[in-house]
Structure 1
């Protein structure tokens, strides 16, 4: 299988790297997590899955991530959302299933809101969320801040926290946290107008499964399924987790009204 080479889209003077695979619609659109990139385990797995099934697949790196330009510390939810919307509208057509991991779940929910404002809600045929972290800055980061970290945010504009996945610390900026308050989705009914399937590990130390259950409470009008993986962590990237992801995406494609009939490949 040939891995598609990166392409680049200028979004507000920043080169955003993306990879796309032509195929039938509904295709898959990957939205990665905080500090992750489009060459991660789950994204690469979905690329192989799309290739085997003949589906279109689109993925990109947010600014400051992976192969995209820009400084990570300059990133905000609004900035990364705008880049995701630009890539989605320019490099996909027809119905798509959004697959959002961790922060990518927040981006996916906000992306749907923006598409609804544009009258393009039919572009989203389904939503698969992996350990979703909507509103994580307000719900998961701010409540845990120490007095020292609050001083760092106020005085230097950022704070650092040890990362479980990298020797480099996680960085949270004051701009990210303040902008996060303008992008909250757990404040009322979330209407996606499409089926939603959530995959959540019960041993997730970064985004507890109670957060996923809270999200379900805000999705009362949609077709929502949640699968709790008793021994799953935040990444959900073990072989058995990837098999579950494949079954979930396949099931989303088979849902009546979720995917529709396959359409010609997107070139």
Structure 2
């Protein structure tokens, strides 16, 4: 299969790669996870679905990820949020369903907050969140830090740990963790003002299902659907998981009208 080269937008000096399909609204915007890229199985599945159904679709790589410029170690939630908002504002029109995977769910929730602040909250038609990891730096990483990792953060500015998904280790920087505290969304109620569908695997080794339950408890005012997948892992990329993803996006899109 031939992969079409991406287009690029400059965001604060970084060349951010993106791909988009023109089509009807509500459109769909994909937000990938930590160290993921826009050519992953879920993003490609959504692109194929959007193409078949004439639906607008937009995806991009955060700086330091995939085909985008910049160094991964320079990234923070604030930086990747800013890039996502820039791509959203420049290349979407009308209402959009944000589909966020893992860290991408955190970015999506922060985008909703920032768009509401700017008076553009009505642009968000709905959210589909897969294995959502909002606040993962404070909720999932910091509580598990060993003495050696804390020392590395202080002395080296980062620590590494083996990745199940890559030969290269995961890198967590002091800047990422400190910035994560400034972007917390689960400190109180989250008002998205739109339908939210969460897909969470019960066999997820990275983000426990209790994290998804905590997120649901922070969404008291919204129409929230939580689908727990008994044997689902963190990636949720098996054929049956991808079918659930498409059904969730179709359902949320239909609710948006």
Category of TM-score, reference length = shorter chain? over 0.9
Contact preservation (8 Å) 1:62, 1:84: yes
The alpha-carbon deviation at position 253 of structure 1 amounts to 1.6
The alpha-carbon deviation at position 238 of structure 1 amounts to 0.2
Q: TM-score, normalised by structure 1?
A: 0.95
Contact preservation (8 Å) 1:207, 1:234: yes
Cα distance between partner residues in 2 of 1:78 and 1:253: 28
Cα distance between partner residues in 2 of 1:3 and 1:253: 27
Cα distance between partner residues in 2 of 1:63 and 1:5: 17
What's 1:11 paired with? 11
What's 1:265 paired with? none
The question of 1:67 aligning with 2:73 is answered: no
What's 1:207 paired with? 207
Task: Return structure 1 stretches of 4+ with deviation > 3 angstroms.
Answer: 1-5
Q: Deviations over 1:168-193 (max 9, x none)?
A: 10000000000000000001110001
The question of 1:37 aligning with 2:68 is answered: no
Cα distance between partner residues in 2 of 1:4 and 1:128: 26
Contact preservation (8 Å) 1:4, 1:20: no
CA RMSD of aligned residues (A): 1.0
What's 1:110 paired with? 110
- Matched length: 257
What are the residue-to-residue correspondences of 1:226-265 with 2, within 5 Å?
226-255=226-255, 258=256, 260=257
The alpha-carbon deviation at position 91 of structure 1 amounts to 0.4
Cα distance between partner residues in 2 of 1:204 and 1:128: 18
What are the residue-to-residue correspondences of 1:64-213 with 2, within 5 Å?
64-213=64-213
CA distance 1:110–1:205, change in 2 (3 Å): same
List alignment gaps of at least 5 residues for structure 2.
none
List alignment gaps of at least 5 residues for structure 1.
261-267
Higher RCO (CA < 8 A, seq sep 6+): 1
Residue 59 of structure 1 aligns to a residue in which SS?
strand
Cα distance between partner residues in 2 of 1:6 and 1:166: 23
Cα distance between partner residues in 2 of 1:5 and 1:145: 40
Residue 137 of structure 2 aligns to a residue in which SS?
helix
The alpha-carbon deviation at position 5 of structure 1 amounts to 3.3
The alpha-carbon deviation at position 4 of structure 1 amounts to 4.8
Q: TM-score, normalised by structure 2?
A: 0.99
